[in-house]
Amino acid sequence: MDSTLPSPNPALLVPPSMPLYDSIRGSIFAPSPTVLITTILVIFLTPIFLHFIVFHSRSPISLPTFLLVGPAASGKTSLMTSFESEPGQPPVETRTSQTPHSLECFVPASIARTSEYRSAHDPSLKAHKRFLLLDTPGHGKLRHIALTRISSTTIRGVIFVLDSSLTDVRVVAEYLYDVLLTLQSSATSTTTQSKKLLVACNKSDAFTALPPSKIQKLLEDEITKMRVSRSKGILDVEDDGEGNDEKEWLGEGGEGPFTFQSMEEVGVEIEFKGGSVENGEWRNCLSPWIGSCL
Ligand SMILES: Nc1nc2c(ncn2[C@@H]2O[C@H](COP(=O)(O)OP(=O)(O)O)[C@@H](O)[C@H]2O)c(=O)[nH]1
Ligand SMILES: [Mg+2]
């Protein structure tokens, strides 16, 4: 009796999927030139493509901008140039705007509102946030330049610079009234974010300088008077019964004294700060506020 078993057919031992496995293994370890070139191109071109997308969106035109407004000789240009050279900050390399009155500045990224939830060890916090300071002419006949810019989408905040001696409260209040009215109408037309205004009470080093709280009160009183007289004027001229006066009324409807606090109800956040360009105080004083707007 033959005890040896018949040898199995080798073709039956190979799993049916073996050719597919072999071809995959073959293409991984010995790829065709086309696959090789395509892979190399994807590896090298993807970072370049991503870099282009990320940095293209950071073109100078879309830099967040802060508008410097206020009466003539209040110190707007001086305040802007005080941001130019400061120890510990990177040097200002470029003037990106077409207009001669803008300056590219930096604040530490750690103070920006968008960095609020980052870890303290996040290396991105060591970087700087760029923004533009845009100076505007304070002369009465040229104020429309500033007022038309306020509604622009790149404007993150408005800095109203005034002389703390407040020699003519009426002149200051009139300009501030127009600025507030423009901010109010742009805040109500774009309901995304509230508009930010910082009233910079400059020249605090002067002997005649008033404290910011006193300036705030004097301006509120003056604007209260102006609000009544302006609304009366509008009603006399445009009393067509269609409520045109509503557009020009500062703050929420209702009589009574005007307060800067009440502007929050119409989407305008206002802060008062005192300082002096002469004493080099504005960079430290303004940076936290600028950071909160970025
Ligand atoms: N004492 C004092 N003078 C200042 C201060 N800031 C600006 N000035 C002076 O105020 C004048 C008008 O400043 P400028 O920046 O041209 O005002 P602008 O018209 O608002 O741009 C200049 O002579 C400045 O030297 C300050 O903080 N203290
Ligand atoms: Mg100026």
pLDDT in tens, 260-276: 999 998 889 999 999 99
**Banded model confidence at residue 113, pLDDT cuts 50, 70, 90:** low
CATH class name, domain 65-293:
alpha beta
Ligand 2: distance of its center to the CA of 200 in Å?
A: 15
Contact yes or no for 159/68 (Cβ under 8 A): yes
- Please state the separation of Cα 67 from the chain's center in Å: 10
Higher-confidence residue of 151 and 183: namely 183
- Ligand 1 and 132: CB distance under 6 A: no
- Ligand 1 and 86: CB distance under 6 A: no
Sign of CA dihedral 61, 63, 68, 69: positive
Higher-confidence residue of 167 and 138: namely 167
Terminal Cα distance for the chain, rounded: 95
Higher-confidence residue of 288 and 94: namely 288
* Reported pTM: 0.73
Domain ranges within the chain, ordered by starting residue: 31-60, 65-293
Which of 51-60, 70-79, 195-204, 220-229 is least confident?
Answer: 51-60
**Banded model confidence at residue 41, pLDDT cuts 50, 70, 90:** very high
- Residue of 168, 174, 175, 173 whose CA lies nearest to 208: 168
Contact yes or no for 226/182 (Cβ under 8 A): no
**φ, ψ at 241 (rounded to 5°):** 70, 10
pLDDT in tens, 218-234: 999 999 999 888 877 66
**Predicted local distance difference test score (pLDDT) of residue 93:** 44
Contact yes or no for 197/267 (Cβ under 8 A): no
Give, using CA atoms, the residue closest to atom 26 of ligand 1.
203
- Ligand 1 and 75: CB distance under 6 A: yes
Ligand 2: distance of its center to the CA of 259 in Å?
A: 29
